[in-house]
Each structure stands twice: as structure tokens, then as C-alpha cells.
Amino acid sequence: MEVFSYLQSNPVALLVCVVAFSLLVGSFLNVVILRYPVMLFRGWKHECQEFEANTPEHPALQDLSQPYNLLKPDSHCPKCHAPVRAWQNIPLLSYLLLKGRCAGCDTRIGLRYPMVELVTAIMSATLLLVFPWGWPLAAMLVFTWLLISMSVIDIDHQILPDSMTLGLMWLGLLLNTQGLFTDLHSAVLGAALGYGSLWTVFWVFKLATGKDGMGFGDFKLLAALGAWLGYTALPLIILLSSVVGAVVGIAGILILGRDKNLPIPFGPYLAMAGWIAALWGDQIIQWYLGSVLQ
């Protein structure tokens, strides 16, 4: 308890602790992002061999007799399979010491790994600008880390795992039984309206075009955000995510020559919009009402 009291009274020490711990969490999130989807695919392959033709190419999917989870096998280079030593697994620092290459085969290490660690640390430290030391800060750290994991998984595989989206939703409802971020009534309505709004958009689009406009994981993610922040935050989240998604999508078509028929994961935009709304939603709404509607 003395440590907690010291951190509460010393903002600099609190910042250093949060950043250092968040770097470690970011390193673990890389493991979650890389392995969790494969764990899901392995489970699906066990349950239904027909799914095998649709699973991505990955060595862990070829031999199901070997364990594959967040702990096993040990971290190793995907190219030469050389084990990653403890000193090579220090967040950010090891990437710089290795000059971005594998110590065994000199294969370039993806920039993704240090970027996830760095973004996790920056976003975690930013929470200190809004939330004081206590349960709201701890809850928002978990909220942030889950959103980062889901966003990158959606970019890689265009899936939002139920265990993450529904887990986030139930955690939000549980926390708000104590009114941590909103009252329980608003949280329940937020979950229901978050899911129902995108579900309605999905079916209107499908009936009009005959195509699927988004995945069911997006419904569940917005339901989770509604459970955390309440139904009043949903319009802002939908607006922010739609505008950013549209800008990025159009830019990809015009600048990068991306095929307009290729699906674009919507989860990352929802996640970023939800995170922004959690930190500055009230200020954004007040600014809009105070300046735009005058």
C-alpha cells in the first residue's frame, strides 16, 4: 500500500511505471496478436475438417499434435526457428540492438513488433492525462490493450474473436454495476443499441445489394464499447469510425490503387473511435454543441 500511495503522490514515478509496464504488455500483445488467431484456427480445424481449405498458411496448422498457445512453443524466428533469447525479447531495446534483424539468420524482423510495443506504451501513458490513479485507470489500461490486440488481429485476419469482443462487453457491464464509467442502465442500453444499430445497417445493406457489408464481430465490438461508455457515446463512435474509415478507404483506392472490391476491416476504426470517445468524448461533444451549433 505504501507503493500505491507513493505513486499516487508522485506523477513522474507513476508515468515511468505505467510506460515501463506498458512496454512489457505491448511485447506480450505481440504474442497474443500472432498466436491467438492461429489457436482459433487450430480449434476450428479440430472441430471441422472442412474449414481446412480456408485457413491461412501457417506451420502450426500443419501438425496439430504439437502444443500451440500463448506460452508454447517458445518464441523463435519464423524463418530459421532459432530461439529468441531473453535479452533479445526486451521491448524496443532488443529490436534496436539487433538492428531489426534475426541474430541467427539475419532475416529482417517486422517493424510491427516494436510498433505494437511503442503504441501500447504511448496510448497507456496518454490515459494518465485523463484518469487518476485508481480503478478507472486500471480498467482503461485493460480496455486499451484489448482494443490494440483486436485491431491488429482484424487487420491481419479480418476477424474479431468472440472471446475478446464479448469478454470486453461483459467486463464493461460488470464494471458499470458500480458506475465506474456510466450507470448500469446506460451501459445495458449501450450494449443493446451498439449491437442492434450495426446489425440493422448490415441487413439493410445486404437486402439492398446482396452483399455482406461488415462482419458480426463489428456488431459485438460496438456493443462492447456501448457497455463501457453508455449509449450516449454511440453516435460519436459511429461518426468518428465512419469518417476515418471512409477517408482511409478512399485514400487507399486513389493513392495506393487498392481494389475497391477488397474488404476493409472496420474493427480498427471502431476501436480507435471508442478509445478517443473514452478519453475525450465529452469534450468533443461540448465543443461541437458550443461552436458548430451556435
pLDDT digits (tens, 9 = 90+) for 141-179: 999 999 999 999 999 988 899 999 999 999 999 999 999
Kind and range of the H or E element at 140? helix 135-157
Residue spans of the domains in the chain: they are 1-129, 133-294
Position 86 pLDDT exceeds 80? no
* C-beta atoms surrounding 74 within 10 Å: 7
Residues 6 or more apart in contact with residue 226 via CB below 8 angstroms: 187, 189, 190, 191, 192, 193, 194, 195, 233, 234
56 three-class SS: coil
pLDDT, residue 269, reads 93
Burial class of 180 by CB neighbour count within 10 A (0 to 12, 13 to 18, 19+)? middle
Q: State mean pLDDT over 189-201.
A: 94
Query: For residue 224, which of 237, 239, 215, 241 has the smallest C-alpha distance?
Result: 237
Burial class of 87 by CB neighbour count within 10 A (0 to 12, 13 to 18, 19+)? exposed
Buried b (16+ CB within 10 A) or exposed e, 219-241: bbbbbbbbbbbbbbbbebbbebb
Residues 6 or more apart in contact with residue 16 via CB below 8 angstroms: none
Position 215 pLDDT exceeds 70? yes
Q: State mean pLDDT over 43-53.
A: 64
Position 90 pLDDT exceeds 90? no
Q: Each residue of 238-277: pLDDT tens digit? A: 999 988 888 777 777 776 666 666 677 889 999 999 999 9
Residue length of the chain: 294
Buried b (16+ CB within 10 A) or exposed e, 109-134: beeebbebbbbbbebbeebbeebebe
Query: For residue 166, which of 121, 126, 223 has the smallest C-alpha distance?
Result: 223
Structure-block grid coordinates of residue 132:
487518476
Which residues, listed in sequence order, are joined to residue 101 by a DSSP beta bridge? 108
Helix, strand, coil share of the chain (percent; to 5): 70, 0, 30
Query: What is the CA 11 to chain-centroid distance, rounded?
Result: 27
CA distances from 93 to 23, 24, 86, 126 (A): 10, 11, 12, 21
Angstrom distance (rounded) from CA 97 to CA 93: 6
Measured at the CA of 77, the angle between CA 122 and CA 59, to 5 degrees, comes to: 110
Query: For residue 172, which of 151, 153, 194 has the smallest C-alpha distance?
Result: 194
Q: Each residue of 49-72: pLDDT tens digit? A: 554 555 566 676 666 667 777 778
Q: Give the percent of the chain with pLDDT over 90.
A: 44
Helix ranges (DSSP H) in 48-90: none
Position 184 pLDDT exceeds 90? yes
Q: Give the percent of the chain with pLDDT over 70.
A: 88
pLDDT, residue 141, reads 97
Position 219 pLDDT exceeds 70? yes
Position 109 pLDDT exceeds 80? no
